[in-house]
Amino acid sequence: MAGPYSDAVYTTDEYGRPFIIVREQGKKTRSHGVEAIKSHILAARTVANIVRTSLGPRGLDKILISPDGEITVTNDGATILGQMEVEHQIAKLLVQLSKSQDDEIGDGTTGVVVLAGALLEQSEALLDRGIHPIRIADGFERACKIAVAELDRISDRVEFSKENTENLLKAAMTSLGSKIVSKAHRQFAQIAVDAVLSVADLARRDVDFELIKVDGKVGGSLEDTTLVQGVVIDKDMSHPQMPRTIKDARIAILTCPFEPPRPKTKHKLDIGSAEEYKKLQVYEKEKFADMVKRVKDTGANLVICQWGFDDEANHLLMQNELPAVRWVGGPEIELIAVATNGRIVPRFEDLSAEKLGKAGIVREVSFGTTRDKMLVVEECANTRAVTIFVRGSNKMIIDEAKRALHDAICVVRNLVVDNRVVYGGGAAEISCSVAVAKAADDIPSIEQYAMRAFASALDAIPLALAENSGLAPIETLADVKSRQVTENNSKLGIDCNARGQNDMKEQFVYDPLISKRQQYLLATQLVRAVLKIDDVITAGEDNE
């Protein structure tokens, strides 16, 4: 944007990370209030335009390079914006917008930023016509209420049960259509649905995400990804001669190390003779034997320890036929405790039979030519804990597959919470755009201009979908919109996958209603906030 105030440049730093520079020219004065808002709009629009090309099933990916040279390839809006180095304060608000959508809903992070960018673009045109920013914001709020009411009107309920999951599967496949896993998206959608239904409480409409762990290992292909009804930990048995499979496992879950007790304060031990050294050796051996005996007495046949133990302790465990796993991380320890209904024991004195975790089978699996080993705990006492084990040719693909699974799991979770859906492919946006434009005709005040601008901004989503799919954007949108009005069919959208029809219900392109509603509300709130800021004052600097 050329002007007396500022202009913006989209560039990259020495690591290849994209960021935005908004250069200020001259001193700010109070007469530049509208110009200041325009510069803020420019910065925010520049960010929105970066992710616009990633929208939809044919959206393109971005390569993000971290300061230490690590590469991330993704089209997830929240990840792209989260890793970008954004200098401008207003542009940072858009980054936080996508993060809040990700935290609250989990999906729709690109769409919410594109919509906010389109609203700000429309705001600039209204500012040029001399309309006050607050009147624009009020008009947007009014239009948003109409759009949300229209979403409720056009929504459909999708019925599902633990036996009939087809509708959930279609919603998860819609979410995965634009991801790197799209070649195996039915398999991934099935995994996401099965994982959510394994941990969901359908009576309370609640899903505990803590019980779903997503793990990955380089090697194999995406099709080798599996859902394990239990816990997978990236560890193996502490001794190579310990059994690889333990049936009817009774697990002692310890957060205390297998070693002689030491004083809490700094201590020093002087050994002046061979006899004293032998006494110490005997003492340590007795302590180790006592620890192993305490574990065996409870009936445990497997030890999972958060800390390590030395070769002597390992040898004693082997001799006493007590398999053990060491250096298991805190989150894994907690997950194993939840899955096996066991108690985490901080001291050997507290160990008892009631605190043991129970699992049908614990087995060590190895794969690949390098014989990587992992421990799988299955048939747990608490059958609700599950692990999704992702395979892929490299770390980059595994990371993106994990992000895709997160989005799909969130979509299924949203439908468990509220099973109403609207139709994707821009169908919901076009329907809301028509409703808002129609309502604007009955508004006598100046806010009607802002409401029409809101309707035009909603069209930005189907326009971007058509553009990213290689279609003629304006002609495609005009055709679909006219058909929606003449046929009174709110299910018509952009045919992104070139299937020869525009009915999104027939194509099974679903979006959860709560996700779409949240996008509209969050984008409108952000735009209102930006329109109310007419100056940026850095604390401690002279701003006269």
Catalogue the E-assigned strands of 259-371: 302-305, 324-325, 344-345, 357-367
Q: Assess whether 234 carries a catalytic annotation.
A: no
Tokens of 495: 């045919």
Highest mean pLDDT, choosing among 208-217, 362-371, 451-460: 451-460
The pLDDT assigned to 31 comes to 34
Is 103 noted as a catalytic residue in this protein?
Answer: no
Q: Is 14 exposed, middle or buried (0-12, 13-18, 19+ CB in 10 A)?
A: exposed
Q: How many Å is the maximal CA-CA distance in the chain?
A: 101
User: 6 pLDDT band (50/70/90 cuts)?
Assistant: very low
pLDDT tens digit sequence for 402-432: 988 988 898 888 888 888 889 888 899 999 9
- Is 97 in contact with 112 (CB distance < 8 Å)? yes
- Residue pair 228/336 in contact (Cβ under 8 Å)? The answer is no
Residue among 490, 529, 497 at smallest CA distance from 513: 490
Residue 317's CB is within 10 A of a number of other CB atoms, namely 26
Summary mean pLDDT of the chain: 83
Q: Helix crossing, 133-154 with 427-440: angle to 10°?
A: 120
pLDDT band at 215 (very low <50, low <70, confident <90, very high): confident
pLDDT at 16: 67
Across 228-244, average pLDDT: 86
Q: What is the pLDDT of residues 15-25, one digit of tens each?
A: 666 766 655 44
How many Cβ atoms are within 10 Å of 466's Cβ, its own excluded? 26
CA distance 189 to 182: 10
How many whole angstroms separate alpha carbon 187 and alpha carbon 199?
Answer: 19
* Cα 528 from Cα 447, distance rounded (Å): 14
Among the options 46, 53, 74, 76, which is catalytic?
76
Measure the CA–CA gap between 358 and 340, rounded to whole angstroms.
5
Q: Give the model confidence (pLDDT) of 24-36 as tens digits.
A: 444 443 335 788 8
Domains along the sequence of the chain with CATH: 6-157+422-531 (1.10.560.10), 159-222+386-418 (3.30.260.10), 230-382 (3.50.7.10)
Task: Decide if 4 contacts 32 (C-beta within 8 A).
Answer: yes
| pLDDT for 147 beyond 90 | yes
Q: Which long-range contacts (CB under 8 A, 24 or more apart) does 476-479 make?
A: 477/426, 477/430
Q: 11 by DSSP, 3-state: which?
A: strand
Average pLDDT score over residue span 348-367:
85
pLDDT for 434 equals: 92
Residue 263 has pLDDT above 70, yes or no: no
Does residue 145 register a pLDDT over 90?
yes
Cβ 48 vs Cβ 117: under 8 Å: yes
Instruction: Spot the catalytic one: 407, 495, 503, 511.
Output: 407
Q: Where are the alpha helices (DSSP H) in 418-540?
A: 427-440, 447-458, 460-468, 473-487, 513-531
pTM for the complete prediction? 0.79
Band the pLDDT of 3: cuts 50, 70, 90.
very low
Looking up tokens 């007419």 gives 534
- Cβ atoms of 9 and 40 closer than 8 Å: no
Highest-scoring range by mean pLDDT, 9-23, 325-339, 518-532: 518-532
Q: Residue 359 in contact with residue 228, Cβ under 8 Å?
A: no
Grade residue 7 by pLDDT with cuts at 50, 70 and 90: low
Residue 22: the pLDDT is: 58
Question: Residue 203: helix, strand or coil by DSSP?
Answer: coil
Q: Using an 8 Å Cβ cutoff, are 61 and 75 in contact? A: yes
Using pLDDT thresholds of 50, 70 and 90, give the confidence band for residue 151. Answer: very high
- Which H or E element spans position 331? helix 330-340
Nearest residue to 150 (alpha-carbon basis) of 426, 474, 490, 532: 490
Q: At what angle do helices 447-458 and 109-128 cross, to 10 degrees?
A: 140
How many angstroms separate the CA atoms of 173 and 182, rounded?
8
Query: According to the model, what pLDDT value does residue 14 have?
Result: 66
Say if residue 246's pLDDT is above 80.
Answer: yes
Beta-bridged to residue 442, according to DSSP, are: none
Length of the chain: 544
128 catalytic per annotation: no
The sign of the torsion formed by the CA atoms of 359, 360, 364, 367 equals: negative
Place 450 in a pLDDT band, splitting at 50, 70 and 90: very high
Query: pLDDT grade, residue 142 (50/70/90)?
Result: very high
Calculate mean pLDDT across residues 502-510. Answer: 85
CB-based contacts of 428, cutoff 8 Å, min separation 6: 151, 154, 422, 490, 493, 511, 516
Q: Which amino acid would we find at residue 314?
A: N
Task: Give the pLDDT score at 457.
Answer: 93
Residue scoring higher pLDDT (86 or 74): 74
What confidence tens digit (pLDDT) does each residue in 299-335 have?
888 999 888 877 777 888 888 888 888 888 888 888 8
pLDDT band at 478 (very low <50, low <70, confident <90, very high): very high
Q: How far apart are CA 231 and CA 362, in angstroms?
A: 10
Q: Which residues lie below 8 Å from residue 166, measured CB to CB, with a gap of 6+?
A: 160
Does the pLDDT value for residue 5 go beyond 50? no
Q: Is the pLDDT confidence value at 544 over 50?
A: no
Q: Is the pLDDT of residue 38 over 60?
A: yes
Distances from the Cα of 498 to the Cα of 72, 426, 507, angstroms: 29, 15, 11
State how far the Cα of 252 lies from the Cα of 235, in Å rounded to an integer: 16
- Interval 149-169 mean pLDDT: 86
Q: Establish whether 495 is a catalytic residue.
A: no
Average pLDDT over residues 107-116: 87
For residue 27, the model assigns a pLDDT of 40
Q: Which of 245-259, 265-279, 282-296 is predicted with the least confidence, judged by mean pLDDT?
A: 265-279
From the candidates 46, 72, 74, 109, give the one annotated as an active-site residue.
109
Alpha-carbon distance values, 523 to 59, 113, 141 (Å): 21, 7, 10
- Give the containing element (helix H, strand E) for 360: strand 357-367
**Which tens digits make up the pLDDT trace of 270-288?**
778 888 888 888 887 888 8
Residues of the chain above pLDDT 70, percent: 91
In whole angstroms, give the CA distance from residue 322 to residue 302.
6
Q: What pLDDT is recorded for position 474? A: 92
| Residue 247: alpha-carbon gap to chain centroid | 36
C-alpha to C-alpha distance for 6 and 39, rounded to whole angstroms: 6
Phi, psi of 216 (to 5 degrees): -150, 155
Average pLDDT over residues 80-106: 83
Residue from 381, 407, 398 nearest 220 by CA: 398
What are the CA-CA distances from residue 385 to residues 250, 265, 313, 326, 338 (Å)? 17, 40, 31, 22, 7
Per annotation, catalytic residue among 46, 53, 79, 110: 110
